[in-house]
Structure 1
Amino acid sequence: MAVVLNSKLALEVWAGVECTVNRVGEEYFDQLERNGHAMRLDDLDLFAELGIKAIRYPVLWERTAPDGLENADWSWADERLGRLRSLGINPIVGLVHHGSGPVHTSLVDPEFPEKLALYARAVAERYPWVSFYTPVNEPLTTARFSGMYGHWYPHGRDELSFARALLGQCRAIALSMKAIRKINPNAQLVQTDDLGKVYSTPTLAYQAEFENERRWLTFDLLCGRVNSTHPMWGYLRYCGISEAEIEWFLQNPCPPDIMGINHYLTSDRFLDERRERYPASSYGSNGQHEYADVEAVRVCAEGAGGPRTLLLEAWERYKLPIAVTEAHVSCTREEQLRWLYEVWNAALSLRDEGVDVRAITAWALLGSYDWNSLLTRCVGYYESGVFDLRSPHPRPTAIASLMRDLSAGRKPNHPVLDTPGWWHRQERLLYPAVSCRSLEGENKSKWTLTSRFPHTTLPSPLIIVGASGTLGRAFARLCELRGITYHLLSRREMDIANPASVDAVLSKLKPWAVVNAAGYVRVDDAEREPDICIRVNAEGAATLATACAKHNVALLTFSSDLVFDGTVSNPYMESDTVAPLNVYGCSKALAEKLVLKVNPSSLVIRTSAFFGPWDDYNFVTIALRQLSAGNTFVAAEDAIVSPTYVPDLVHASLDLLIDGECGLWHLANKSAITWADLARLAAKKAGFNPSNIIALPTQELGLTAKRPNYSVLGSNRGELMSCLDSAMSRYFDECQRF
């Protein structure tokens, strides 16, 4: 099955599973265990449906032979590599991924290279048909994190530990490929590293120049370029590396068959000695100057260089075939789509200019855990990827659709792609803008932001109905933040209960989707005005759904936990039977039925008990206002709900809408709490005396409409929302900013 990737063929789509097994102290953090892929063979069939040609895939030393080759367990790799082979997907086999090997070795172990080479030979002997290898992922990055910054084992914080870790990994790569090629002479090295670029003020130009030279060390060592005249020769000698250790690479070159460039928005940095402009967490020193080290995209007036600049620099330096071996951004769904598509278009344009770019790789198919802390803690922070693991089974996101389009040679047409990513928009600047004149790669380029976004008219908008309501205004605010073009409409501008009004607006604005955030929300008043409530909530929603179906426009509309009667003691799921106790609940239950009947592709989200920072009339805000004034606050002690932080709800809803999801979904922050305890929780976090909260039975509150005593929402489709404690903390943070 060996395939030689031909530069004359079309640009390929590859993929990768985040598979890091890193060590912190004596603890190993295993992404494959955390993302569940260690136990799910069927994931590979999902991956194949994306149309990918190759996949970066782990046969990791730490997992396969932690107790030596004589005790190796190949069963996992046998089954999965066999399935990939039958699916026609080329595995690019990784042996160490940000790891340091089994417990009996480390990156600074003098025998690490030889030990890994023995393992590499065993892998090649067992799978002689495998033709692509990455023996060690990102040696330079791993050496920095393990030998310079002390994040990962062996937790070095000095230049010598860094240099030893780097040279040990590079030597391990060369020896491993030598061992592999004794079994498979045609085996190819796909060598990866994170490649960024450093910009600076004139004062720190010398530091930027040094770092921009050091970033190439993995490839320069493997290509046998580091001799006594190389700019990094003196640095390595200063670190404590002997001439013989460096010269070994001159005598044993192992140039990559394909250079794997990993590039993230955080990879490009800006150095500034004016530290007062930046947060203390960014401060550093080189012994000569103290300075701030921040993301270049947050300060450079022209923007950071980006993937095209890096790919072009790599090509001009080495003239070797290139692949983008990781393309991922931790952000909202539309930004993930924009980044991957931008990387794809940059690669296409470079190919047109004669640069041998073979593929781009959608990284973290299953997402990743705790990279926000650089894998130094295990707290469960999850970033979704091509698939979202917060559902019972890996759920394909809009990125999966994008990959299928690119793999099949189709032009993607998702409307959110028509807007530049946040890294191009003005709001990216968090600090005073500084000109970064060294964007020479972009200046040489025929590709510009204008050519990427040539539209003379605005992108197709999202319509948000409900301009006067909390939810509608929150959608508008967060669409603005996310770069999603929208129109926020009042009832006067579009009456959803009037078919002619709806049809006229959809015909004029030509939206790609409609968010119905309008509705009759006065639960007690609905008992006195049932006809009005039903007309707005049910008939209006059905009218809107009918029009959206006619115009082929996606619809997102909202329902309520009050469609349930509260006779259970476990969270309600989407499949549970509705049995509303009041008119409002009846109107929402009827709306669900009508909307999904006339337009089954609609997305209907049930939610509960709003609180948020941007309006004055939600339960939490009212409670805190009363307590702040020294008043008591009365709340139900026997009604259990799952409160919903409005910004979380909006973000999750938009992601589902962009993903093309439909049917009923439950979205609420994970919790089960009485109204009185919710008020106490908010009071404690705000520093108020919770004893000023008076808890009473619901029947003593004088409410007109009957409410369920239990209306907690769970989900059998996916739990996308954080826990209540996290939401409450962010509520207070946002209130301080607002």
Structure 2
Amino acid sequence: MVTQFMFATGIENSNPTIQGGTYRQDELAKCGHYQHWRTDFDLVEELGIHFLRYGPPIHTTFLGEGKYDWSFADETFGELRKRDIVPIVDLCHFGVPDWIGNFQNPDFPTLFADYAHAFAKRFPWVQLYTPVNEMYVCAEFSALYGWWNEQLRSDAAFVRALKHIVKANVLAMSAILEVRPNALFIQSESSEYFHAENPAAIKPAEILNAKRFLSLDLNYGRRVDSEMYEYLMDNGMTRDEYHFFMGHNLKQYCIMGNDYYQTNEHRVSADGSTRGSGEVFGYHVITTQYHDRYRLPVMHTETNLWQGPNGDEAVNWLWKEWANVLRVRNDGVPMVGFTWYSLTDQVDWDSALRENNGNVNPLGLCDLNRQIRPVGQAYKQLINDWRQVLPAQSVCLEVPIIMPSESEQPWAHQKQNDAKVARQNVANTVSKTNQSDT
């Protein structure tokens, strides 16, 4: 079992639909991963990275109720296990299979939980999961901005998508824990902040700064702010639905993943409209706000920047984000990992995947020819410099990860059995408490 700081990258696997559901933005295809996945794993190893955000394409894997095509996942996850690379498994990254439709479908949560359970049974050695990636962003872009999937633009559609997405995440965590009792869940969620441009914008900014917490509040069973409770109720969430989230708290299995980009901070006008502000507070300040709210271990789960004309823009951003991570950690926040996302350049994120233009975005540690960029070399050096330093600071801030190569060891099985017993004991205690209350 290792207790190292998790230096990670990811294979970009977003797959929302656009154009009224007629075209799927499959980033695994656009970035060439289906053809070059072995080379991509070679690059992960060459960069000295042991943790990889990665997941099977849900739209070609989950074929129907109880129907799965594991062929690609069997190959790729088998290779990851062979190489002893720890996957942090993305099971839903902005899209659903065509037969499910979109995030307005009330059946999505239970269907997705079944999919998560089936994946965990097929790959029982996998321990780390991000069941649904960026839940808030997924609901916002799909049902409030009208960009992806259902392409709706209303608060009611947003709340409907959000409650389905977060419920899917919660049910998936429970389903995975049935198979892997010591599974850990790293919520990769966008960390946002809204700045008021003038006094008249203070109120709308306050509302948006409360709204940004909705996905994690529901996911972690934390009561939402009173104004947000009214917002949820006014836009279609029932009290029973709200109580579901308050009664399914799985925080003890979670690491709070915070994503941060230059686009995560916004200027708010008096009418509530927003525009990008660029980096004002930065990762340190905003992540501290999230940690103060949820009191969980933290991982920086996404960041990147374009390699610009000078060639060092991304390298400088890497240094800045890493300095922020160290500052958060030095302030006493249990910071357990860092991620440059993604391994390779991405395609069409300059339009937030709203358009199919084929534009290559130079955001990766490597380009699409699988050549390492300057930021990749810098990240490799950063990992080499810091890997042995951070764990020595405190053994209490380390994550008990069972490496793929260790998963069949007797002690690893014992760890799972111990976790299963502990989980059952908690369930029994809760049941007895509920009985005594009645």
Q: Normalising by the residue count of structure 2, what TM-score does the alignment of the two structures yield?
A: 0.83
Counterparts of 1:192 and 1:250, CA distance in 2: 21
- Structure 1 residue aligned with 2:211: 214
Structure with the larger helix share: 2
Deviation at 1:233, TM superposition (A): 0.8
- Structure 2 residue aligned with 1:66: 63
1:399 matched to 2:399? The reply is no
Deviation at 1:130, TM superposition (A): 0.2
- Describe the SS at the equivalent of 1:240: coil
- Structure 1 residue aligned with 2:286: 310
Deviation at 1:103, TM superposition (A): 2.8
2:337 to 345, 354, 359: 359
- Describe the SS at the equivalent of 2:312: helix
- Spell out, residue by residue over 1:668-698, the C-alpha distance to the aligned partner (whole angstroms, 9 max, x if none): xxxxxxxxxxxxxxxxxxxxxxxxxxxxxxx
Q: Letter of the aligned partner of 2:9 in structure 1?
A: A
Counterparts of 1:140 and 1:343, CA distance in 2: 22
1:372 matched to 2:350? The reply is yes
**1:454-533 alignment, distance < 5 Å:** none
- Spell out, residue by residue over 1:433-489, the C-alpha distance to the aligned partner (whole angstroms, 9 max, x if none): xxxxxxxxxxxxxxxxxxxxxxxxxxxxxxxxxxxxxxxxxxxxxxxxxxxxxxxxx
Q: Letter of the aligned partner of 2:376 in structure 1?
A: A
Q: Which has more radius of gyration?
A: 1
Counterparts of 1:234 and 1:409, CA distance in 2: 49
- Structure 2 residue aligned with 1:338: 316
Contact 2:63-2:69 at 8 Å conserved across structures: no
Q: Letter of the aligned partner of 1:21 in structure 2?
A: N
Contact 1:65-1:102 at 8 Å conserved across structures: no
1:107 matched to 2:85? The reply is no
- Structure 2 residue aligned with 1:323: 299
Counterparts of 1:208 and 1:18, CA distance in 2: 31
1:75 matched to 2:71? The reply is yes
Contact 2:62-2:97 at 8 Å conserved across structures: no
- Structure 1 residue aligned with 2:125: 129
1:15 matched to 2:13? The reply is no
Counterparts of 2:285 and 2:344, CA distance in 1: 28
Contact 1:13-1:403 at 8 Å conserved across structures: no
2:367 to 347, 368, 388: 388
1:45 to 42, 47, 51: 42
- Spell out, residue by residue over 1:588-640, the C-alpha distance to the aligned partner (whole angstroms, 9 max, x if none): xxxxxxxxxxxxxxxxxxxxxxxxxxxxxxxxxxxxxxxxxxxxxxxxxxxxx
Identity over the aligned pairs, expressed in percent? 31
How many corresponding residue pairs?
A: 379
- Structure 1 residue aligned with 2:193: 197
1:34 to 30, 46, 53: 30
Counterparts of 1:220 and 1:46, CA distance in 2: 37
Counterparts of 2:277 and 2:101, CA distance in 1: 37
Q: Letter of the aligned partner of 1:307 in structure 2?
A: Y
Counterparts of 2:180 and 2:6, CA distance in 1: 24
- Spell out, residue by residue over 1:523-547, the C-alpha distance to the aligned partner (whole angstroms, 9 max, x if none): xxxxxxxxxxxxxxxxxxxxxxxxx
- Describe the SS at the equivalent of 2:262: coil
- Spell out, residue by residue over 1:370-402, the C-alpha distance to the aligned partner (whole angstroms, 9 max, x if none): 11111121111111211111x3xx111111211
- Structure 1 residue aligned with 2:91: 95
2:239 to 243, 257, 275: 243
Contact 1:67-1:102 at 8 Å conserved across structures: no
- The runs of 5 or more residues in structure 1 that have no matched partner are 274-288, 298-302, 412-738
Q: Normalising by the residue count of structure 1, what TM-score does the alignment of the two structures yield?
A: 0.50
Contact 2:350-2:361 at 8 Å conserved across structures: no
Q: Letter of the aligned partner of 1:340 in structure 2?
A: L
Counterparts of 1:251 and 1:36, CA distance in 2: 42
Counterparts of 1:153 and 1:132, CA distance in 2: 27
**1:611-626 alignment, distance < 5 Å:** none
Counterparts of 1:84 and 1:141, CA distance in 2: 29
- Structure 1 residue aligned with 2:140: 144
Contact 2:365-2:375 at 8 Å conserved across structures: yes
- Describe the SS at the equivalent of 1:152: coil
Instruction: Flag the structure with more relative contact order, 1 or 2, with Cα contacts below 8 A and sequence separation at least 6.
Output: 2
- Structure 2 residue aligned with 1:176: 172
Contact 1:322-1:359 at 8 Å conserved across structures: yes
Deviation at 1:68, TM superposition (A): 4.6
Counterparts of 2:72 and 2:39, CA distance in 1: 13
**1:519-598 alignment, distance < 5 Å:** none
Q: Letter of the aligned partner of 1:360 in structure 2?
A: F
Deviation at 1:238, TM superposition (A): 1.3
Contact 1:266-1:295 at 8 Å conserved across structures: yes
1:349 matched to 2:337? The reply is no
Contact 1:95-1:135 at 8 Å conserved across structures: yes
